[in-house]
């Protein structure tokens, strides 16, 4: 991405399960982080799904074609298949998902009037929502259900950019202090059953379950110099 995220990330790593079409997104500061990220993901997903990864398909970029990944793939008997960088149709599922996620995130940022440095949160939220809502034609189930073997809880979903009120957990607020801060909903925790909120007071992202939502009010992010526009967010 042309604009660095609030956490200093510039690149998106999109991983799609060929069976379920479940999608994971990871964000990188540089492409050099890709090998370690991929190895960590493969170890975690093998344990989570109790099933070994047999084949990985990537383009032949240096972030995938390197000795670190080759040694790891050989050690766990993973077959690495490659397709040409200039022939994305060879890996159409990932390419389509990448475009869909970026376009969805762009629209979410525009309509919530969120600052562009929240692009990574918008993409992650779009990914989670699509995993829970898109129906796999072959199985007539969502990717979430195919991976987790249960239906997603749609009541857990909220509108990106919605005004919300996370509980104020400061110890110095006193008896008359505000019990809640004002924030904007920007996604779901990757590690727990919690929401990600951009706290307007601290200008930081927090994860919490102690939050109430007001999705009927007009979204009103503070205006920043980098305002989202139709052509200002492109993947790179």
Q: Between vectors from CA 72 to CA 26 and to CA 23, what angle results, nearest 5°?
A: 25
Burial profile 21-43: b = 16 or more Cβ within 10 angstroms, e = fewer: bbbbbbbbeeeebbbeebbeebe
| pLDDT value for 233 | 54
In a domain, 233, yes or no: no
- Are 161 and 108 a contacting pair, CB within 8 Å? yes
Domain that residue 100 falls in: 11-148
- Are 229 and 216 a contacting pair, CB within 8 Å? no
Pair 58, 32 in one domain? yes
Residue 49 CB-density burial (10 A; 0-12 exposed, 13-18 middle, 19+ buried): middle
Please state the domain count of the chain.
2
Q: What is the CATH number of the domain that holds 183?
A: 2.30.30
At 230, the pLDDT band (50, 70, 90 cuts) reads: very low
pLDDT in tens, 13-38: 999 999 999 999 999 999 999 999 99
The secondary structure of residue 141, as a DSSP letter, is B
Pair 144, 162 in one domain? no
Q: Which residues pair with 184 in a beta bridge?
A: 163, 198
pLDDT in tens, 161-193: 999 999 876 544 444 445 678 999 999 998 889
Handedness of CA 119, 218, 111, 190 (dihedral sign): positive
Residue 80 CB-density burial (10 A; 0-12 exposed, 13-18 middle, 19+ buried): middle
- In this prediction, what percent of the chain has a pLDDT beyond 90? 72
The secondary structure of residue 218, as a DSSP letter, is P
| pLDDT value for 139 | 95
Pair 18, 84 in one domain? yes
Q: How far apart are CA 44 and CA 230, in angstroms?
A: 36
Task: Name the domain boundary from 148, 175, 197.
Answer: 148
Helix 34-49 and helix 67-75, axial crossing angle in degrees, nearest 10: 20
pTM, 2 dp: 0.85
pLDDT in tens, 39-86: 999 999 999 999 999 999 998 899 999 999 999 999 999 999 988 666
Task: Name the domain boundary from 121, 148, 175.
Answer: 148
In a domain, 55, yes or no: yes
| pLDDT value for 35 | 98
Pair 16, 97 in one domain? yes
In a domain, 46, yes or no: yes
Task: Name the domain boundary from 148, 173, 188.
Answer: 148
């Amino acid at each position: 991405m042309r604009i660095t995220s609030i956490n200093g990330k510039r690149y998106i790593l999109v991983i799609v399960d060929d069976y379920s079409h479940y999608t994971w997104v990871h964000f990188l500061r540089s492409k050099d982080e890709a090998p370690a990220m991929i190895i960590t993901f493969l170890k975690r997903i093998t344990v989570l799904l109790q099933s070994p990864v047999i084949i990985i398909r990537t383009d032949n970029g240096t972030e995938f074609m390197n000795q670190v990944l080759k040694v790891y793939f050989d050690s766990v008997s993973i077959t690495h298949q490659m397709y040409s960088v200039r022939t994305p149709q060879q890996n159409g599922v990932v390419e389509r998902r990448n475009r869909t996620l970026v376009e969805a995130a762009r629209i979410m940022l525009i309509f919530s009037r969120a600052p562009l440095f929240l692009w990574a949160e918008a993409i992650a939220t779009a990914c989670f929502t699509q995993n829970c809502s898109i129906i796999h034609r072959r199985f007539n189930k969502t990717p979430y259900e195919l991976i987790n073997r249960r239906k997603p809880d749609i009541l857990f979903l909220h509108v990106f950019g919605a005004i919300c009120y996370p509980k104020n957990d400061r110890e110095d607020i006193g008896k008359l202090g505000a019990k809640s801060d004002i924030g904007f909903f920007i996604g779901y925790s990757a590690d727990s059953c919690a929401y990600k909120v951009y706290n307007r007071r601290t200008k930081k992202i927090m994860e919490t379950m102690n939050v109430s939502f007001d999705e009927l009010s007009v979204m009103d992010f503070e205006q920043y110099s980098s305002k989202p526009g139709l052509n200002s967010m492109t993947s790179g």
